[in-house]
C-alpha cells in the first residue's frame, strides 16, 4: 500500500511514483494546503481539474475546529471533505510553535493556548498520532520540536535531539493505533537541525537508526533564512537520503523554490502561498509576478499567463480578472487561486517530464532565467 518507485533521475533531480491507500502520486509533486479541510475557496473538483493528486490537512486547525472526534464520527477526513485522493496531515507542531500561544515546552510535549477560544491544551507526540489517526490521512507526520529560524547551534541541537526522542514516541503510538483501529496510514519522520549541516546529518542518521520509513520529510526550512542557505542544507543532505524513499520539503512552494528543490532531490512540496497570493490578486506567471489589480491590465484581453492551461487562463481575460478584484467579487480570488495552484502543479509535471526524457537541467536554468528577468 506504500510504495515508491524511482523511475528516472538527472543529477539529484528525480521522477517517481508514490502509491498510497487513496491513490497514486507522480513525483515531483506540489501539494495544495487544505488548512481547515478545504483548500481556501476551492471546490474539490476544481482541485482535481487543476491536477492535484494529494492535498495537505492541518492537524492543529482540525483539532480545534471541528475537533478530530467530529471528523471521525463523520467518516474521517476523506468522507468529510469528499476529497477522494491521498491526504497528508502535518503533526500540528508547526502551528503550535508559530501560531498558538506557546505556554510551556518540556519533554512531555507542548502546552499552548488555542488561538480560537484561549483554552489551554496539551499536544504530545502520542496525542498528535491519535488526532491524525482519527482524521484518517494517508500520511501522518511525526511530532517535532521546531526551533525558531536560524537558531544557535546549541538551541537547534537541543530541538533536534528532542525531535528524535519524540519520533520514538510517535512511532510507537502510531504502530499501536494502526494495530488497534486498522487505519491505513503511514508515518514519516522529519529531519531537523536548523541551518547547521552537522546537525542535519545527525538528525538524518538518528531517523534512519529508528525505523524503516516509507518517506522522509525535511522541516524547519523557509522560516526566514536566506534562500542560498536552504539550498546549501538540501545539498548537504541529499547524498545521504535513501534513494528509494520519497523526500518531502515542508512548507516550501514558491515557483523558484520548486525548481531549486527538485534540482536538489526533493519529491514533494506544500505551501499556502498559492492560495494566499491568489486571494490578494498576486499571480505567478512564466514571466514573473503579475499584480491583477494593476491598472495596466484594465484593457488587457489576453490570459493571465499565455503559457498556462488552467481553467482561468483558458477562459478569462486579464481585464476581467482585474475588474473582479476592483469590485471585490470573490470569483476573482478563486480564479487567481486556481491559476496559482495549477501553475505550481504544472511546474512539477514539466520537471517530471524533463527528468524522464532528459534535459531537466537546461530546462530549469531557462525557466529560472525567464521567471527572474
Q: Which stretch binds Zn ion (CB under 5 A): 54-62, 181-189, 209-217, 336-344?
A: 336-344
| Total interface residues for Zn ion by CB under 5 A | 5
Dist CA 132 CA 60 (whole Å): 10
The residue annotated as part of the active site, out of 138, 144, 267, 270, is 270
Residue 157: is it exposed, middle or buried by C-beta count within 10 angstroms (0-12/13-18/19+)?
A: buried
* Residue 140 C-beta-side C-alpha neighbours within 13 Å: 33
Under rule CB under 5 A, residue 313 binds Zn ion: yes
Under rule CB under 5 A, residue 134 binds Zn ion: no
Dist CA 4 CA 348 (whole Å): 17
Quick one: 112 or 284, whose CB is closer to Zn ion?
284
Under rule CB under 5 A, residue 96 binds Zn ion: no
Give me 209's grid cell: 537508526
197 carries an active-site annotation: no
Beta-carbon contacts of residue 98 (< 8 Å; ≥ 6 apart): 146
270 carries an active-site annotation: yes
Query: Which has the closest alpha carbon to 250: 291, 204, 191?
Result: 191
**Furthest CA-CA distance within the chain:** 62
Under rule CB under 5 A, residue 310 binds Zn ion: yes
Binding-site member from 71, 237, 308, 347 for Zn ion (CB under 5 A): 308
Quick one: 173 or 339, whose CB is closer to Zn ion?
339
Residue 282: is it exposed, middle or buried by C-beta count within 10 angstroms (0-12/13-18/19+)?
A: middle
Under rule CB under 5 A, residue 283 binds Zn ion: no
Quick one: 222 or 312, whose CB is closer to Zn ion?
312
Residue 345: CB minimum distance to Zn ion, A: 11
Q: Which stretch binds Zn ion (CB under 5 A): 99-107, 112-120, 209-217, 335-343?
A: 335-343
The residue annotated as part of the active site, out of 45, 90, 197, 257, is 90
Using CB under 5 A, list all residues that contact Zn ion: 308, 310, 312-313, 339
Among all residues, which ones are annotated catalytic? 90, 270
Amino acid at each position: 500500500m506504500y510504495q515508491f518507485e524511482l523511475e528516472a533521475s538527472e543529477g539529484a533531480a528525480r521522477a517517481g511514483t508514490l502509491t498510497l491507500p487513496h491513490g497514486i502520486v507522480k513525483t515531483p509533486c506540489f501539494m495544495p494546503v487544505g488548512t481547515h479541510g478545504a483548500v481556501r475557496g476551492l471546490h474539490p473538483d476544481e482541485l482535481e481539474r487543476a491536477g492535484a493528486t494529494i492535498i495537505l490537512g492541518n492537524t492543529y486547525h482540525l483539532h480545534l475546529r471541528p475537533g478530530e472526534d467530529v471528523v471521525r464520527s463523520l467518516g474521517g477526513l476523506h468522507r468529510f471533505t469528499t476529497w477522494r485522493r491521498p491526504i497528508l496531515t502535518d503533526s500540528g507542531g508547526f502551528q503550535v510553535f508559530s501560531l498558538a500561544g506557546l505556554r510551556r515546552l518540556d519533554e512531555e510535549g507542548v502546552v499552548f493556548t488555542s488561538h480560537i477560544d484561549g483554552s489551554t491544551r496539551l499536544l504530545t507526540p502520542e496525542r498528535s498520532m491519535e488526532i491524525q489517526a482519527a482524521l484518517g490521512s494517508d500520511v501522518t507526520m511525526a511530532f517535532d520540536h521546531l526551533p525558531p529560524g536560524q537558531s544557535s547551534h546549541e538551541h537547534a541541537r537541543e530541538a533536534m535531539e528532542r525531535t528524535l526522542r519524540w519520533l520514538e514516541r510517535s512511532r510507537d503510538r502510531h504502530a499501536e493505533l494502526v494495530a488497534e483501529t486498522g487505519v491505513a496510514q503511514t508515518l514519516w519522520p522529519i529531519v531537523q537541525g536548523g541551518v547547521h549541516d552537522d546537525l542535519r546529518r545527525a538528525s538524518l542518521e538518528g531517523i534512519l537508526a529508528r525505523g524503516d520509513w516509507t518517506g522522509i520529510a525535511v522541516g524547519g526550512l523557509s522560516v526566514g533564512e536566506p534562500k542560498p542557505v536552504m539550498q546549501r542544507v538540501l545539498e548537504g543532505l541529499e547524498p545521504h537520503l535513501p534513494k528509494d524513499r520519497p523526500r518531502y520539503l515542508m512548507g516550501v512552494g514558491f515557483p523558484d523554490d520548486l525548481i531549486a528543490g527538485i534540482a536538489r532531490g526533493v519529491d514533494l512540496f506544500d505551501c499556502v502561498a498559492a492560495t494566499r497570493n491568489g486571494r490578494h490578486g498576486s499571480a505567478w506567471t512564466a514571466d514573473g509576478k503579475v499584480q491583477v489589480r494593476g491598472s495596466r491590465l484594465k484593457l488587457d484581453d489576453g490570459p493571465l499567463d499565455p503559457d498556462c492551461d488552467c481553467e482561468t487562463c483558458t477562459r478569462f481575460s486579464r481585464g476581467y480578472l482585474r475588474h473582479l478584484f476592483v469590485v471585490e467579487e470573490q470569483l476573482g480570488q478563486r480564479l487567481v487561486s486556481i491559476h496559482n495552484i495549477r501553475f505550481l502543479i504544472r511546474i512539477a509535471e514539466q520537471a517530471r517530464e524533463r527528468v524522464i526524457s532528459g534535459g531537466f537541467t537546461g530546462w530549469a536554468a531557462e525557466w529560472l532565467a525567464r521567471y527572474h528577468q
